[in-house]
Amino acid sequence: MIQRILMGFFLGTLYFTTTDKTSTKTGKLNINAALFFLVCEYTYPSVFGILAYLPSEYALFRREYHDGLYGVSAYYLAKVLALLPIFTIDGFHVILALTIGVLIEQSSTAFGFMLSAISPSFTIAISIAGPLLTIFSLTGGLYANIGQLPGYINWLQYISWFR
């Protein structure tokens, strides 16, 4: 919690005057960088949190699934709804930003579930997650111009929630 507060304070001071300079190229780049950082801040804790959490629950899920208590879709939907944060804040811009944040977290949580489901162990899931998240962030548009991506990796921009 303290880490989040300190990081929020640091980022707030870093981008505090950016809205005054939105008409300049530097201001637009600063806003782009702040939004990209926001996507990263929502993505990484969600993905790695699910990767660390799901293996401990997998044996129970497998047993209950094979006993016919519920299906994969019911389990996934229940987990997603249980992890969904609830916000009550006024102001359209704040609600819009929080909605985008929730969508980013849901995308990264689904990605974490997928990696955890296809990986035979936690170690393999972690070693797959890092490079894939790096590829998605690189093809998200901040580090590389998405119009200039080679054809063989151009398709990645369409499945990356960093974009």
Domain assignment present for 26: no
**Could you tell me the two tokens for 27?**
């201001």
Domain assignment present for 133: yes
Domain assignment present for 151: yes
Domain assignment present for 36: no
Domain assignment present for 27: no
Contact by Cβ (8 Å): 126, 134: no
Domain assignment present for 3: no
State how far the Cα of 40 lies from the Cα of 105, in Å rounded to an integer. 10
pLDDT digits (tens, 9 = 90+) for 55-114: 888 888 889 999 999 988 898 888 878 776 654 445 566 677 778 888 888 888 899 899
State how far the Cα of 78 lies from the Cα of 138, in Å rounded to an integer. 32
Domain assignment present for 47: yes
pTM, 2 dp: 0.57
Q: Which helix (H) or strand (E) holds 26?
A: helix 25-66
Structural domain count, the chain: 1
Domain assignment present for 11: no
What range does the domain containing 151 cover? Answer: 42-158
**Among 108, 116, 114, 110, which Cα is nearest to 55's?**
116
